[in-house]
């Protein structure tokens, strides 16, 4: 949970959670990764790497029965499907997937990019999120994450990684 309270009352709020351990953004980021949640500015960026709701896997948020700027383009993409899809993956080899690392297919052809990655303390293995071409987005598909120039095998896995 994330709790917001006025600064002058925070000590009293904290004391009600006797025995809880404080954590910061790193812990929050690991938890959201384990659940497969998008982070604005990391998994999509309106300026640098814009994504549509259908690419990002949140098309359920679009009300196509209303008028808005871009509605026709989204309706077309909803009908035909996106070219890229947001995916999760579990790294099968040692390494940590990081933002910006290339995702390739079994032939070494670039098919996507890692947007977030970490070593999952809950699972004890490296996990990541990213976008790949739609034809490589199915669960169980083998892909490779380019870590320091070496392709490390990974398996596409639909998030959440935990809590299922």
How much is the pLDDT for 87? Answer: 98
- The tokens of 145 are what? 């994450």
Residue ranges in 16-144 assigned as alpha helix (H): 25-35, 71-80
Nearest Cα neighbor of 117 from 100, 132, 133 is 100
pLDDT per residue over 78-120, tens digit each?
999 999 999 999 999 999 999 999 999 999 999 999 999 999 9
- Kindly report the pTM of this predicted structure: 0.86
Decide if 141 contacts 155 (C-beta within 8 A): yes
Q: List the chain domain ranges.
A: 40-82, 83-157
- Three-class SS of residue 32? helix
CATH of 83-157, one of 2.30.110.10, 3.30.160.20, 2.40.30.110, 2.30.30.100: 2.40.30.110
């Amino acid at each position: 949970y994330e709790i917001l309270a006025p600064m002058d009352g925070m000590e009293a709020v904290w004391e009600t959670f006797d025995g809880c351990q404080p954590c910061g953004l790193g812990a929050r980021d690991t938890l959201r990764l384990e659940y497969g949640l998008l982070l604005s500015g990391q998994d999509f960026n309106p300026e640098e790497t814009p994504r549509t709701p259908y690419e990002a896997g949140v098309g359920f948020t679009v009300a196509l029965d209303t008028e808005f700027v871009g509605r026709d383009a989204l309706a077309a993409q909803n009908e035909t499907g996106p070219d890229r899809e947001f995916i999760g993956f579990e790294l099968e080899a040692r390494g940590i997937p990081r933002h910006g690392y290339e995702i390739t297919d079994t032939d070494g052809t670039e098919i996507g990019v890692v947007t977030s990655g970490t070593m999952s303390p809950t699972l004890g293995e490296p996990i990541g999120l990213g976008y790949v071409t739609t034809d490589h987005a199915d669960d169980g598909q083998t892909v490779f994450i380019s870590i320091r120039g070496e392709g490390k095998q990974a398996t596409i896995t639909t998030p959440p990684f935990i809590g299922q």
